[in-house]
Amino acid sequence: MDRIRDRYHAVSFRGRLLLLLVAVSLVQVGVAAYTFFDLQSKPAEQRVHAQLNAALRGVAPVVDAELGRASDRLRTLQDDTALQSAIEGGDWAEAGALLEDPAAAAAGDTSASVDPLATGTGAPAFEQPAGADAAAAQPLSAYVTDADGKVVAGTRPDGALVEQAGRNSGRLVRGSRLVATIHVPVAVDRAFLRDRVAAYVPKGVDVFVADELNVTSSAKGADDVQRRPSGLREGLREVTIGGTDQLALTQPLLDGSVLVGASMPAKVAAAQQHEGLSALWGFIAILGLMMLGVSWFITRAVADALRKFATIARELASGQLDRRIPVTGDDEIAVLSESFNDMAEHLQDRIEGLVAARASMRRQVDLFGEALANATDVEEMLAAVCSLAMESTSATHSRFWTLDSEGRYEHAACIGLRPGDSEPCGLEKAVPVRNASVLGEGEPHWLVVPARMRDGQIVGLLTLVSTESAFAEDDVRIAERIAVQAAVAIDNARMHEQLRLQATRDGLTGLPNHRALQDELTKRLEEAYRSDMPLGVCLLDIDNFKRVNDTYGHPIGDEAIKAIGRTLAHGVGGMGTVGRFGGEEFVVIMPGCDADAACRIADRLREDIMTIQIPLEDGGTLRVTSSFGVANVDQQRARVDNAEILHQADVGMYNSKRTGKNRVTLAGPDTVVLEMSAAEKAKLAAREAGDTAAELAAAAALETNAPEPAPYDPFDLAA
């Protein structure tokens, strides 16, 4: 295939055009030949069909007349009382003699059979055929079969048997029981077809009759009786009769079990159908030669005109823009020449326009590259997208909406339109529903394009407005491409933000993690010292958290941490920063709060934590408490860093645990850590060693010797 294509392209244009025209000419000649052959063959087919149909019309009356004779003979046999008695008595030899002896049949009782239901005698009755009695005729062959269909009297004739129940076969019944059946069939053999039917059949056509098993045909070389071909059915078709292929037209006789047909050899039928077609070949040959001549003339005329165009085009390409094609006449070539000359006249303008468009495209590419480079700042990037869309289309105004996964709109950037819009217009809302670009009707002209990701999700809407002219199809395509690039940039910015949050957020609570807290505390300390403003820092720890994990499991402990994180974030709101410092410890940064305010906020948070209820699997609830330590910048004698102020808060938190837990303790640079007693150290050592008995004994000794705890006052700053 590649070699053929290469050879085709190696041929000149003139040669290829000639080949195509020749191919078209051959197709036309072929269609004409097919049409002529079809017009010639149909009358021939109709003649063959008429011959076969005429033969059928000649066969049917002869067979029908024979059926009338058979019906008369059956009526005579049915009225024969002697035959009836012989059949009833099972004397099949006597019955056979009566069937074969016409004189015995004529001497019988010709009275009608008696209906046993009418007389009550119980004698069997024959089923009579409908219609008047036929005149006496020459007797036909007859035979009797018993209830099982076995021939018991007479002889079943050879050939195709034409028989119809009630017409030329009658049943002998006693009550509802079948005793026997008398058959007077029309036996069709070759002699019957040749002597009785051939006179009514056109020359060259054979006739045949087929019952359910056999077929008898007048065709030469056919046997007297043949097996019925499997493909022999009503209508016109090819079958094999007598060892030769025949074109046969058949129709049903009587109830359809017997077919009568006319046939002729298939070769003869084909020869008749193709008579006269040879005369068409000369005309087709002449037509083909004429088409080839026309093809050559058209090819030469087109090639000469194209050669002239090619010469002038090369001169124009070399810079001779004053070259023109001479125009002669007013035909299509002249019109094409005038169009070519108009193109040459406007070529300079187009070149200047292309240069300007190239410079504009370069500016647009630079602008959009800058926008994608700053994709982490979504608002600046989308403002550049709006500007690029206005530069690339006929738009005079633009804006961009972003959509989240729940379909909520957010105004991101705009040029010329109202920046304070909080809701998109109806045209913009229709875009996510249609999931396609939408053009507004009337003036000003609106165009809304979805910023769609590869998976089809719409992440934004680019809205363009033109107060000067309607948007062209090129404007729509350019805007759609810009919107696709904007969608990629939005996705990159969101991914960057997600990675930033993953690096600075705690995975369990969603609060700022240890690293983010350190960065935030550094920034807040610098602001506090630069502005001479107070800053409070609170460090808290969940009381007895190890016991919670040991008793209820780590999933319950995680639920407690998440619940406390939510409570702290809600309690602080936008007035400070809450983060997870590690494990069960949290840090609260409170800008602008002196020591008193920081302690009051910490105590309110402590009370909020006491209201938390965590459901347990047994249906109960878990309540937890926390110990707080507070440190403040305005208590310091010198400038402190993150580690120092967090150490002071940690000392306060430790002292809260040492003095009873579930309390707030303010600590400063001079606050010391309360030491553990010997009993407390023994209890801690036993717990770490897993010695439950020693831990219980140490706890009992600690309770016995423990001093009465001092009253808790969270606002006693001297404590």
Looking at the domain assignment, is residue 703 inside a domain?
no
Element (H, E) at 256: none
Q: Cβ distance 203 to 107 under 8 Å?
A: no
pTM score: 0.40
**Residue 325, domain extent:** 278-345
Please tell me whether residues 333 and 359 are part of one structural domain: no
Residue 59 CA, chain-centre distance (Å), reads 61
Residue 153 backbone dihedrals phi, psi, to 5 degrees:
-145, 140
C-alpha angle 153-159-162 in degrees, rounded to nearest 5: 80
Looking at the domain assignment, is residue 40 inside a domain?
no
Looking at the domain assignment, is residue 56 inside a domain?
yes
Helix, strand, or coil (residue 575):
helix
Q: Which region among 110-119, 329-338, 517-526, 613-622 has the lowest average model confidence (pLDDT)?
A: 110-119
Return the higher-pLDDT residue of 101 and 260: 260
Query: Strand locations in 500-645, DSSP E?
Result: 535-542, 577-582, 585-591, 614-615, 621-622, 626-632
Q: Which of 594, 583, 582, 580 is nearest to 537 (CA)?
A: 594
599's CB contacts (< 8 A; 6+ apart) are 630, 664, 666, 714, 715, 717
Please tell me whether residues 63 and 142 are part of one structural domain: yes
503's CB contacts (< 8 A; 6+ apart) are 515
Please tell me whether residues 255 and 205 are part of one structural domain: yes
Helix, strand, or coil (residue 541):
strand
Please tell me whether residues 308 and 268 are part of one structural domain: no
Please tell me whether residues 235 and 334 are part of one structural domain: no
Helix, strand, or coil (residue 194):
helix
C-alpha angle 586-589-595 in degrees, rounded to nearest 5: 110
Please tell me whether residues 474 and 578 are part of one structural domain: no
Please tell me whether residues 488 and 512 are part of one structural domain: no
Residue that finishes a domain, picked among 273, 308, 333? 273
Residue found by looking up tokens 């001169």 in the block:
315
| CATH code, domain carrying 669 | 3.30.70.270
Residue found by looking up tokens 């990629």 in the block:
488
pLDDT of residue 679 exceeding 80: no
535 forms bridges with which residues in the sheet? Answer: 591
Return the higher-pLDDT residue of 308 and 489: 489
| CATH code, domain carrying 468 | 3.30.450.40
Please tell me whether residues 80 and 219 are part of one structural domain: yes
Residue found by looking up tokens 């093809």 in the block:
295
pLDDT (tens digit per residue) in 309-327: 778 777 777 777 677 777 7
Q: Cβ distance 598 to 632 under 8 Å?
A: yes
CB atoms within 10 A of CB 281: 11
Residue type, position 69, single letter: R
CB atoms within 10 A of CB 471: 21
Please tell me whether residues 160 and 253 are part of one structural domain: yes
As a three-state string, the secondary structure of 637-656 is CCCCCHHHHHHHHHHHHHHH
Looking at the domain assignment, is residue 441 inside a domain?
yes
pLDDT (tens digit per residue) in 80-99: 888 888 888 888 888 888 88
Q: Which of 423, 492, 491, 495 is nearest to 460 (CA)?
A: 491
For the chain, give the number of residues. Answer: 719
- Paired tokens of 31: 């269609």
Percentage above 90 pLDDT, the chain: 22
Of these ranges, 132-141, 239-248, 517-526, the one predicted with the greatest mean pLDDT is 517-526
Say what the pLDDT of residue 63 is. Answer: 81
- Paired tokens of 660: 């009873």
Percentage above 70 pLDDT, the chain: 78
pLDDT (tens digit per residue) in 233-286: 788 878 887 677 888 888 887 666 778 888 888 777 777 666 655 566 676 777
- CA pair distance 531, 495, nearest whole angstrom: 36
249 forms bridges with which residues in the sheet? Answer: 236, 262
- CA pair distance 561, 200, nearest whole angstrom: 112
Please tell me whether residues 430 and 571 are part of one structural domain: no
Please tell me whether residues 533 and 481 are part of one structural domain: no
Of these ranges, 38-52, 238-252, 356-370, 628-642, the one predicted with the greatest mean pLDDT is 628-642
Q: Which region among 61-70, 477-486, 672-681 has the lowest average model confidence (pLDDT)?
A: 672-681
Q: Is residue 10 very low, low, confident or very high in pLDDT (cuts 50, 70, 90)?
A: low
Q: Cβ distance 422 to 411 under 8 Å?
A: yes
Strands 226-227 and 235-241: unpaired
Looking at the domain assignment, is residue 702 inside a domain?
no
CB atoms within 10 A of CB 385: 27
Looking at the domain assignment, is residue 219 inside a domain?
yes
- CA pair distance 630, 606, nearest whole angstrom: 12
C-alpha angle 653-659-661 in degrees, rounded to nearest 5: 60
| For range 187-198, the mean pLDDT | 78
**Residue 501 half-sphere exposure toward CB, CA atoms < 13 A:** 11
CB atoms within 10 A of CB 602: 29
Number of structural domains the chain divides into: 4
- CA pair distance 52, 260, nearest whole angstrom: 11
* Ramachandran region, residue 184 (left: φ > 0; alpha: ψ -120 to 50; beta: rest): beta
Please tell me whether residues 546 and 416 are part of one structural domain: no
Looking at the domain assignment, is residue 628 inside a domain?
yes
Residue type, position 117, single letter: L
Helix, strand, or coil (residue 175):
coil
- CA pair distance 197, 66, nearest whole angstrom: 11
Q: Is residue 127 very low, low, confident or very high in pLDDT (cuts 50, 70, 90)?
A: very low
461 forms bridges with which residues in the sheet? Answer: 401, 450
Looking at the domain assignment, is residue 643 inside a domain?
yes
Q: Cβ distance 94 to 86 under 8 Å?
A: yes
pLDDT (tens digit per residue) in 463-481: 999 998 899 998 999 999 8
Residue 140 backbone dihedrals phi, psi, to 5 degrees:
-110, 165
Say what the pLDDT of residue 314 is. Answer: 78
CB atoms within 10 A of CB 431: 23
- Paired tokens of 294: 């026309």
DSSP per-residue letters across 264-312: EEHHHHHHHHTTTTHHHHHHHHHHHHHHHHHHHHHHHHHHHHHHHHHHH
CA torsion angle 496 498 500 505 (round to 10) = 180
Check residue 455 and report its DSSP letter: T
Helix, strand, or coil (residue 253):
strand
N- to C-terminal Cα distance for the chain? 99
Q: Which region among 115-129, 176-190, 568-582, 664-678 has the lowest average model confidence (pLDDT)?
A: 115-129
Q: Which of 193, 186, 148, 145 is nearest to 164 (CA)?
A: 186
- The mean of the pLDDT values for the chain is 79
